[in-house]
Amino acid sequence: MSAIFGIINKSRNLLPPGTVQLISKVLQHRAIDGIEVWSAPYVALAQFKLAMNEAERRQSMPLLTEDLVITADIRLDNRHYLLQQTGAPANCTDIVLLLHAWKKWKEECVTHLEGEFAFCIWNKVTQQCFLATDHIGFRALYYYDSPEVFIFCSEQKGVEAFKPSPARFNEVSLIEYYFRQSCPAATYDSDVWTLCGGNTLVLANGMMTIRKYWEPIGGRYKFKKDQDWQECLQELIYEAVSNRLRTDKPVGITLSGGLDSSTIACILSKILQQKNQALYAFSSILPEKHHPEEDDERRYIELIGNHCPNLIQTYVTANSYSPFDGIVAAFERDETFPNVFYYMDHAILEAAKEKQVGLLYTGFGGDHWVSWKGNPVICNLVKSGHLLTAWKLIRQFSHKEKKKIPDIIKREVVVQARKKGKPEPVEAPFLQHQFFQRYKTGLSFNGVDDITAHMCGNLRSGRTGIFPAMLAKRNERFGMQSAVPLLDKKIMEFMIDVPAHLYVKGGYKRSFIRHAMQGIVPDEVLWRRDKGMYSPDYISRVHKHGDYIREIGASDKHILAFQRYLSRDGLTLNHTNRKDMAILRTNQSVIASEILAELAQKGFLIP
């Protein structure tokens, strides 16, 4: 249902003339199926519609009752339960079902909702505002609060357009960009925040209160047999894929040929085939002329295509894009420092738009947990005294890889134990020393040891939802919604209880999803041990722009970035090592310097 917006003058002064017109202008790109605004003297709420089916097209939003105004970006998955509990009409839209849930449970309704949502309920009688995000944070919601005004929006630019205080750059956003370690609620503006997943926000009597309503808790799943765990995962992935498939528009998927996207593609293809519908796949491959060391995933992509008879494949080379084209435009779309493959993301979305895709699936997030490699598992089993289980797994690796048992022990136990005992040094030669020192102590470069604790921490903090929320914003600029089923709440709760040995069972890393998808994903894809790059000619693309990179380092336009945050020493290209991590950091520094120059030009205060 696309974007929502709200502004409340806490002093109860009249909204400035032209407020409604400005609202419509700022988020016009999200109004694929229209804009509706409700306003009172000092309050305005808006809905920018992207309808996924005919019922949503007919639904008037914001939804108005005698005492409430509701604006919502919402998809509810547990409709049957909610209809039973609330008595709502069976054919009602999700926003109407939300209204009935609110009438029954008030603020506690969020504990009964399953799906993806970011919504606002304004009570005209009590003059209170209630905001909520879904458990994971699939739909973005930003807010700004001051003594005079409260603003919220699905996009940060909607808040920035009305925020009265000067825009101040938040340097923590650079730490997040380089290391993915910072406060998940922070944005690039020091005064604008994200309402992360699993939170509610109440504005009453001019005071704002945020409450965490959901915590990831295990203990719901208990199976004795490994096969039961695998079958349960399969069922949950099927359910997560099916729940998101509520559209009468063409459906697509970004297919890399890896385990995660192939899993989603095969399941989605089967479901759509039963409805006599096609599945459009979009995959990045190498152009005809490429470096001899480069390879792509075409072989595995074609295997999936042969396996799925209703799959219509589109290959994307992004020949017309360089890795530095449209950096500022990408920042405007993503509202964060763009990832280094943004050019390929853009090319794939353009291709999907040409096919009129309205819902685009992705396998993103699988390797976070569902298809985790499990590198420290055997070492942890030894450390915890589960020697028999560890020994069985070691023998399985030895047999499958045809390697001697001492070699497996060295790799899986000795090397892993050394990593735990010797923390990785935290260095960042691509950043200014003083800037990096301010945050160094809070950073860790060590690998994940306890996947359950790590992921539960990310779910609690809201970090898990950062990228899916960005995808939702980005995709809707192209007229389509995103679907990220492998981070579904039910799957996340299930994964808390999964026994660790399942990640490395049978002599394979990422073993859990492999065994769960037997008979669904082709064996040649399912049991592959290699992994290709998302944009396969990325290294060559960067190397071709060495002159541009050197110009950035010497440019007066970017001097602020290199004086305060970035180091010119980070702008290096190693032409002998095509896998050098420095290439990635160089690319990030170019992107960061361009964005900082743009923000300074817009009047942001750069500390």
Binding residues for L-glutamine, as ranges, are: 94
Which H or E run contains 303?
helix 298-307
**187 touches 173 (CB < 8 A):** yes
Q: Look at residue 234 and give its three-state secondary structure.
A: helix
> How many CB atoms sit inside 10 A of residue 549's CB?
18
Q: Which of 175, 140, 148, 162 is nearest to 45 (CA)?
A: 162
| Torsion 547-552-556-562 (CA) sign | negative
Which own/partner pairs from 180-188 qualify as long-range (CB within 8 Å, at least 24 positions apart)?
180/463, 181/442, 181/443, 181/444, 182/439, 184/461, 184/462, 184/463, 184/465, 184/466, 185/462, 187/142, 187/156, 187/335, 187/336, 188/156, 188/335, 188/336, 188/337, 188/599
Query: Rounded to 5, what percent of the chain is helix, strand, coil?
Result: 45, 15, 40
d(C-alpha 437, C-alpha 427), whole Å: 10
Which H or E run contains 101?
helix 94-105
**249 touches 356 (CB < 8 A):** yes
- What are the binding residues? 94
**Whole-number Cα distances in Å, 293 to 123, 360, 372:** 62, 31, 27
Residue 44, token pair as written in the block: 């305005």
d(C-alpha 375, C-alpha 380), whole Å: 10
- Spell out a b/e string for 443-469, using b for 16 or more CB atoms within 10 Å of the CB, else e: eeeeebbebbeebbebbbbbbbbbbbb
**319 touches 273 (CB < 8 A):** no
- Spell out a b/e string for 207-220, using b for 16 or more CB atoms within 10 Å of the CB, else e: eeeeeeebebeeee
d(C-alpha 230, C-alpha 518), whole Å: 10
Backbone angles phi, psi at 431, to 5 degrees: -115, 155
**Residue tagged 């879904």 (tokens):** 134
d(C-alpha 49, C-alpha 47), whole Å: 6
**307 touches 267 (CB < 8 A):** no
d(C-alpha 563, C-alpha 561), whole Å: 6
> How many CB atoms sit inside 10 A of residue 37's CB?
17
**477 touches 360 (CB < 8 A):** no
Beta carbons within 8 Å of 135's beta carbon, 6+ residues apart: 197, 198, 214, 459, 489
Q: Transcribe 357-420 into DSSP letters.
A: -SEEE--TTGGGTTT---TTHHHHHHHTT-HHHHHHHHHHHHHHHT--HHHHHIIIIIHHHHHH
